[in-house]
Amino acid sequence: MMRLLISLLFTCGLAAASDWSATERAFVQSLGPWPQAAVADASNRLSGDVRAIELGRQLFFDRRLSANNALACADCHRPDAQFADGIALNRGFGALARHTPALLNLSQRYWFGWGGENDNLWAQSMRPILTPEEMNASLTQVSETLRQDDAFACRFQATTGLALQTLDEQTQLVWIGKLLAAYQETIVTGRTAFDTFRDQLLQGQPLTALNASEQAGLKLFIGEGRCVFCHSGAGFSNGEFGDIGVSFFTASGVDKGRYAGIQSVTRSPFNRLGAFSDSIASGSRTQHIQLLHRNWGEFRVPSLRNVADTAPYMHNGSVETLAEVVDFYSELDEERLHTDGEKILRPLHLSAPEKQNLIAFLQSLSAPVSAATDQPDLFQNCPQAAG
Amino acid sequence: MKLKQMLAAGLLGLSALAGASPFMELVDTHIHYSHDAWERTPPPEAIRLLRLAGLQKAFVSSSSDQGTQMLYAEAPDLIVPVLRPYRKRGEISTWFRDETVIPMLEDLLEKNTYAGIGEFHIYGDDANMPVIRRVVELAQQYHCFLHLHGDAEAVENVFKQDPNATILWAHSGFEGPAVVSQMLARFPNLKADLAFRNDHAFQGKVDAQWRELFLKYPDRIMVGTDTFAPERWHYIMDHADWTREWLKDLPESVAQKIGYQNGLDLAAWALNK
Alpha-carbon distance B38 to B36, whole Å? Answer: 6
The answer as to whether A237 is a domain residue is: yes
Can you give the pLDDT at residue A341?
52
Q: Is B199 in CB contact (< 8 Å) with chain A?
A: no
User: What's the pLDDT at B178?
Assistant: 98
Number of domains in chain A: 1
Amino acid residing at A152: F
Q: In Å, how far is B273's CA from the nearest CA of chain A? A: 33
> Which amino acid appears at position B151 of this protein?
D
Contact in structure between A30 and A201 (CB atoms under 8 Å): no
- pLDDT, residue A340, reads 64
Residue A285 belongs to a domain:
no
Rounded Cα gap, residues B224 and B236, in angstroms: 9
Contacts 24+ apart (CB under 8 A), A286-289: A286/A119, A289/A262, A289/A265
**Of A331, A259, A302, A317, the residue nearest B231 (C-alpha):** A259
Q: What is the pLDDT of residue B88?
A: 81
Q: How many CB pairs under 8 A join A and B?
A: 52
Of the candidates A187, A194, A189, the residue with the CA atom closest to the CA atom of residue A363: A194
User: What residue in B sits closest to A335 (Cα-Cα)?
Assistant: B90
For residue A354, being part of any structural domain is answered with yes
Residue A387, pLDDT score: 54
- Substitution target in A340, A342, A345, A346 with the highest count of B β-carbons within 10 Å is A340
Output the pLDDT for position A18. Answer: 83
Task: Identify the CA nearest to A309 among candidates A269, A271, A369, A366.
Answer: A366
Q: Give yes or no for a contact between A214 and A193, defined as CB atoms under 8 angstroms apart.
A: yes
The answer to the question of residue B62 being in a domain is yes
Residue B238 in any domain: the answer is yes
CB atoms B235 and A340 under 8 Å: no
Q: Count structural domains, chain B.
A: 1
Q: Residue B7 pLDDT more than 70?
A: no
- Count of CB atoms situated within 10 Å of the CB of B203: 10
List CB contacts (< 8 A) between B40 and chain A: 249
Range of the domain at A200: 2-37+191-246+303-369
Question: Is B239–A293 a contact, with Cβ atoms under 8 angstroms apart?
Answer: yes
- Cα angle vertex B6, ends B2, B10, to 5°? 175
- Residue partners of A6: CB distance under 8 A and separation at least 6: A212, A213, A353, A356, A357, A360
Q: Tell me, what CATH number does A196's domain have?
A: 1.10.760.10
Q: What distance in Å separates residue B272's CA from the closest CA in chain A?
A: 33
Say yes or no: B94 contacts chain A, CB-CB below 8 A: no
Residue A333 is predicted with a pLDDT of 82
Mean pLDDT of chain B: 92
CB contact under 8 A, B121 and A248: no
Average pLDDT of B229-241?
Answer: 96
Residue of B194, B226, B234 to mutate, interface with A, max A Cβ within 10 Å: B234
The DSSP H or E segment spanning B80 is strand B79-83
> Average pLDDT for residues B72-90, to the nearest whole number?
94
Contacts of A335 in chain B (CB under 8 A): 89-90, 92
Helix-then-strand count for chain B, H and E: 13, 10
Interchain CB distance below 8 Å, B174 and A340:
yes
Would an 8 Å CB–CB cutoff place B264 in contact with chain A? no
What's the pLDDT band for B12 if we cut at 50, 70, 90?
A: very low
**Total residues found in chain B within this entry:** 273
| pLDDT tens column, B203-225 | 899 999 999 999 999 999 999 99
Q: Under DSSP, is residue A217 helix (H, G, I), strand (E, B) or coil?
A: helix
Give, in order, the Cα–Cα distances in Å from A112 to each of A35, A153, A262.
Answer: 21, 29, 11
Neighbouring residues of B176: CB distance < 8 A, sequence distance ≥ 6: B199, B209
Q: What is the pLDDT of residue B15?
A: 38
Beta strands B221-222 and B190-193: pairing type?
parallel
Does residue A271 lie in a domain region? Answer: no
**What residues of chain A lie within 8 A of the CB of B231, using their CB?**
247-249, 254, 296-297
In this structure, the strands spanning A299-300 and A241-242 are antiparallel
Measured over the CA atoms of residue A50, residue A54, residue A60 and residue A66, the dihedral's sign is negative
Query: Which chain B residue shows the shortest CA-CA distance from A243?
Result: B229
Q: How far is B119 from chain A, CA to nearest CA, in Å?
A: 13
Closest CA to B3 of B32, B23, B29, B33: B23
Residues in B touching A340 (Cβ below 8 Å): 171, 174, 196
Query: Which of the 8 DSSP states describes residue A384?
Result: P
Region B244-264 average pLDDT: 98
Does residue B159 form part of some domain? yes
d(CA B210, CA B52): 29
Q: How confident is the model at residue B158 (pLDDT cuts 50, 70, 90)?
A: very high
User: Which residues of A make up each annotated binding site for heme c?
Assistant: 73, 76-77, 227, 230-231
Strand partners, A253: A250
**Positions of E strands within A80-208:** 188-189
Q: Which of A185, A32, A37 is nearest to A105 (CA)?
A: A185
- Residues B149, A256: C-beta atoms closer than 8 Å: no
Spatial separation of the C-alpha atoms in residues B148 and B192, rounded to whole Å: 9
Please report whether residue A6 resides in a domain. Answer: yes
Q: State the pLDDT at residue A145.
A: 95
pLDDT confidence of residue A343: 66
Whether B26 and B54 have beta carbons less than 8 Å apart is answered as yes
DSSP at B58: E
Q: Is residue B180 part of a domain?
A: yes
Question: Under an 8 A CB cutoff, do A292 and B231 touch?
Answer: no
Tell me, what's the pLDDT at B8? 35
Contacts of B229 in chain A (CB under 8 A): 245, 297, 336-337
To the nearest whole percent, how much of chain B has pLDDT over 70? Answer: 92
Yes or no, beta carbons of B174 and A338 under 8 Å apart: no
Q: For an interface test with B, which of A258, A296, A334, A346 has the most B Cβ atoms less than 10 Å from its Cβ? A: A296
Q: How many CA within 13 A on the CB side of residue A342? A: 25
> Residue B120, SS3?
strand
CA–chain centroid gap for A21, Å, is 31
Which residues span the domain enclosing B126? 26-271
Binding-site annotation: residue ranges of A: 73, 76-77, 227, 230-231
For position B98, which CATH number holds? Answer: 3.20.20.140
Nearest CA in chain A to B243: A293
Burial of A133 (0-12, 13-18, 19+ CB in 10 A): middle
User: Does any CB of chain B come closer than 8 Å to the CB of residue A256?
Assistant: yes
Residue A134, domain member (yes or no): no
> Residue B13 pLDDT > 50, yes or no?
no
Per-residue confidence of chain A (387 residues) as pLDDT tens digits?
443 444 444 444 556 778 999 999 999 999 999 999 989 999 999 999 999 999 999 999 999 999 999 999 999 999 999 999 999 999 999 999 999 999 999 998 999 999 999 999 999 999 999 999 999 999 999 999 999 999 999 999 999 999 999 999 999 999 999 999 999 999 999 999 999 999 999 999 999 999 999 999 999 999 999 999 999 999 999 999 999 999 999 998 999 999 999 999 999 999 999 999 999 999 999 999 999 999 999 999 999 999 999 999 999 999 999 999 999 999 988 778 776 655 678 889 999 999 999 999 999 999 999 999 999 899 999 988 765
A208 touching B (Cβ < 8 Å): no
Query: Nearest to residue A185, comparing CAs of A282, A91, A106, A279?
Result: A106
Whole-angstrom Cα distance, residue A48 to residue A40? Answer: 6
Determine the residue type at A17.
Answer: A
Q: Are B266 and B258 in contact (CB under 8 A)?
A: no
What is the pLDDT at residue A6? 42
Task: Report DSSP letters for B148-214, one per residue.
Answer: EES-HHHHHHHHHH-TT--EEEGGGGG--HHHHHHHHHH-TTEEEE-TT--TTEETTEE-HHHHHHH
Q: Is B23 or A125 the better-scoring residue by pLDDT? A: A125
- Residue B34 reports pLDDT greater than 70: yes
Distance from CA of B233 to the nearest CA of A (A): 10
Task: Please indicate if any CB of chain B lies within 8 Å of the CB of A291.
Answer: yes
**B268 vs B77: CA distance, rounded Å:** 12
ipTM: 0.86
CB contact under 8 A, A339 and B229: no
- For residue B237, what are the contacts with CB-CB under 8 A and spacing of at least 6? B13, B49, B52, B53, B54
Query: Does B202 reach chain A within 8 Å, measured CB to CB?
Result: yes
